Structures are given as C-alpha cells and as structure tokens.
C-alpha cells in the first residue's frame, strides 16, 4: 500500500516495505534488526528522552481532515483525510539549551548525496531556523557504504542555491566527510548523533562565541 | 460535530463552535474578529515567521492511521484514522537561539486558573524540556477578564505537584500577575507574546547567567 504526498512523492512510514534490503545490510551493521533510518532515529530519541539527555520528537504528519464520524460511546473516527505537504523538517527539540532541527535522508549513491532528496520548503525552513540561531542539520545515510553523517544545514543550503545557477546536483561525499560529522552505529542509542552534535556545536562556539549574542 | 480524544477530552479545532461568545468578547478586545485563542496564536506565529522574528509552529495532531485508499491518478485518501493523545505540548520552535515550548489555555474563571486545564503528559514534557534549558510556558487567557499572560512552566509545575499533597487545584490570579508576564492584544501580531518572552528570558539571565552554561 504505497502512500504518496499530494506532490507525488512517496511517503515512507515503516521498514516493512523493504525487508530484503534491510536483511542484507544487517550483516555489516550493528544489530539493526531491519529497522528503517526513521525507526532508528525514533528509538534513539526515545533513549535520549528516557535518560534526560535531550527532548526530541518526530513531528506528526500534517493531515487535512475532511470527515469525522462520532459514534456514541466510542472514539471519533476520521473517515476522510488527506496527507498534506509538511512545511517544516521532520524532527525538532531541545538539547542543552540549543534548538535542534533536522531531517533524516538516505541515498544508495556511493560518491555523493543527491539534492533531489530535499524539498524547497525544507531548505527554507532551515534557512529561517538558522537565522534564529537554531542548530540545523541532516542525518544522512549512505546505504551502500553503510556510513552515517550529521551534515550541517549551512553547506547544504549553499549547494542547494548553487544548483540553480549551474552548480552540481549533489553534494560530494568528500565534502560531507570534511564539513559533516560521522556517526557510528552503537547499541544505546542505536544512532548516537548527539555526539556529532556536540562536535558541531563546538565549531559554532569557536566561530561565533555565544550564539545567543547574535 | 464534537471531537474527543481517546481519553474523552474535547478536541477544539476552530472557533466556529462558539461564535456567540466570541462576538460578545470582541467588543472589549482589539479586532479579534471571532478568532479562537489557537487561531490568534497561529496568526501571530505566522507574523513572526514572515518577519524573521521567530520560527514557531503548532504541531500537527497525532493520528493513528488504520486504512488508506490509494486511487489511481489521485492523492491517497485516509479512510480510517483515530485521534491520539499528544505526548508533548502544542507549540514549539526557536527564537534568538532559545528553544520555546508552550501550551495555550483559557478559563472562564475570574480569580484563578484551574489546573484541570493541564494533563500529566504536558507537565512531564515541560519538566523534561526545562532540564534541557528550554523556555517553557503557558499562554493563559482569562476569558471573562479579557486578560492574557505568559506564565512560566516552573511555578505551574510547582502548583501541579502540590495538588497531590493537599494543595490547591488552581493557580490564583495574583500569583499569575506576580510570576507571569501580561500580554496585551495588538494588531501585528495580534498576540505579541514574544515581548513577554523577552521579559521572561531577562529574568532567567539574571538568575542563571548563560543558560547554556548549566
């Protein structure tokens, strides 16, 4: 049962649709038990919340509700609703006083990350959050390489803007290795991306001092 | 068509259900055109976003999707879904590097704000966000008094915890006047609550210095 957004993009909700590839990958990954990237991040966020390390959630999908039945003595049943294009990124929350805002994306490419994985509204949202001194990034997975990165929004936006003036349509892995922060799979949590965020924040502090002083 | 959460609480989505009261209030309020508190806050957030002052959104309602039809050449139609109890507060976002997290609530009472307006999960969420140095609060409206306040989460949580050991079941207006920050209706934006947040943050800075230093 494939779901699509109104713009035709596929909606991924769980990993059930692709068990075979997950099985193949699990040989080189650390106990992933066929989870999707989204599930792994949700589980990591749950771990971070349970241990009072950070409060980060995936936002619910925005829906346009058209028709609701309200049977007596029962919960309301939505009988007609449509998926709406989200106007923001998928995840946000708070960590050590910092506002975190990010997307999770993956590619099968081996040498670069295609910009077509992103939407204009996500880029604009990150641009606005950056102006408010939010910590904005993408958790990128290179499926074939089995490598994960936290890649900051600033270079992503720079690549995005350049593609309209003849720039390349993807971010080279070498740039992601340079400007990003690699994350290694672990047990608790599965994707310990806040370690990479600590490194990321450290570079910001050096550059900007107190980011509240902007 | 009244909607309820699974726990039986009423779900308010728009102001249409109560036009009469809104009309009556509009005589003493500033051009409110019969909007609900939620709509007024959404509009204010839109203003703040459009003017690059803050990036704050109301979170979509979490739904449990059970059945989806996917007609050829058309958008997916959700045919069966249920409202779920949200595990967080309604609004969050970023403002001047600060993580903001809040609820919007109103009462018809004149002398105090009943604690029954809040749910355990909202209190717990605010407790966790506070530990991450988030700026957590409630936008409270006293409908009959036509007064609005930003009331910080810390005193709210203190009242909440006390009620289980014989404490009062509501927060006195006098306390809200003392510990809260009054907000006056305006035109752009309608509810300029970030002015109150500036005052709120100023008290935090005095108390804690750099809130990132925790």
Nearest chain A residue to B49, by CA: A128
Transcribe chain B into DSSP letters.
--EE-TTSPEEP--STT-HHHHHHHTTTSSS-TT--HHHHHHHHHHHHHHTTS-EEEEPPPPEEEEEEE--TTS--EEEEEEE---SS-SEEEEETTEEEEEEEEEES-SSEEEGGGS-HHHHHHHHHHHHTT-EEEEEEEETTTTEEEEEEHHHHHHHHHHHTTT--SEEEHHHHHHHSEEE---SSSSS-HHHHHHHHHHHHHHHHSSGGG-
> What is the per-residue pLDDT for B17?
41
Fold of A17-60+87-213: Trna Endonuclease; Chain: A, domain 1 (3.40.1350)
Residue ranges per structural domain of chain A: 17-60+87-213
Are B97 and A211 an interchain contact pair (Cβ–Cβ within 8 Å)? Answer: yes
| Interface ipTM | 0.81
pLDDT, tens digit, for every residue of B179-188?
999 999 999 9
CATH of segment(s) B16-60+87-213? 3.40.1350.10
Contact B60, A61 (CB under 8 A): yes
More confident residue, B99 or A74: B99
The mean pLDDT of A151-166, rounded to a whole number, is 95
Which residues in A lie closer than 8 A to residue B204 (C-beta atoms)? none
Q: Looking at residue A116, what DSSP letter applies?
A: G
B144-173 pLDDT per residue, tens: 999 999 999 999 999 999 998 999 999 999
- Report the pLDDT value the prediction gives residue B2, as an integer from 0 to 100: 56
Nearest Cα residue in chain B from A82: B77
Q: Is B47 on the interface with A (CB under 8 A)?
A: no
Chain B contact present for A62, CB below 8 A: yes
Q: Do B132 and A79 touch (CB under 8 A)?
A: no
Confidence at residue A2, expressed as pLDDT on a 0 to 100 scale: 57
Average pLDDT of the segment spanning A34-54: 95
Task: Kindly state the average pLDDT of the residues A3-9.
Answer: 58
Q: Is A57 in Cβ contact with B87 (below 8 Å)? A: yes
Q: Is B67 on the interface with A (CB under 8 A)?
A: no
Chain A: give the shortest CA distance to residue B80, in Å: 5
Q: Classify the C-alpha dihedral B40-B42-B47-B53 as positive or negative.
A: positive
Using the predicted structure, report yes or no on whether residue A27 has a pLDDT greater than 50.
no
Question: Phi and psi at residue B95, in whole multiples of 5°?
Answer: -145, 115
A76–B52 CB contact, under 8 Å: no
**CB pairs A-B closer than 8 Å:** 142
Contact B78 A77 (CB under 8 A): no
């Amino acid at each position: 049962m494939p779901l699509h957004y109104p713009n035709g993009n596929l909606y991924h909700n769980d990993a059930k649709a692709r068990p075979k590839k997950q099985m193949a990958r699990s040989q080189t990954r650390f106990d992933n038990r066929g989870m999707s990237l989204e599930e792994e991040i949700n589980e990591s966020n749950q771990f971070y919340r349970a241990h009072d390390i950070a409060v980060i959630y995936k936002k619910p999908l925005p829906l346009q509700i058209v028709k609701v039945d309200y049977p007596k003595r029962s919960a309301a049943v939505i009988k007609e609703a449509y998926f709406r294009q989200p106007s923001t990124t998928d995840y946000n929350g708070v960590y050590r006083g910092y506002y975190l805002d990010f997307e999770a994306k993956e590619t099968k490419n081996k040498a670069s990350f295609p910009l077509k994985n992103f939407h204009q509204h996500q880029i604009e949202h990150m641009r606005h959050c950056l102006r408010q001194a939010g910590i904005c990034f993408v958790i990128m997975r290179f499926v074939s390489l089995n490598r994960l990165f936290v890649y900051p929004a600033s270079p992503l936006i720079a690549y995005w803007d350049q593609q309209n003036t003849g720039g390349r349509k993807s971010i080279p892995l070498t740039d992601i290795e340079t400007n990003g922060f690699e994350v290694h799979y672990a047990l608790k949590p599965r994707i310990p991306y806040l370690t990479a965020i600590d490194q990321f924040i450290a570079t910001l502090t050096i550059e900007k001092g107190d980011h509240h002083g902007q």
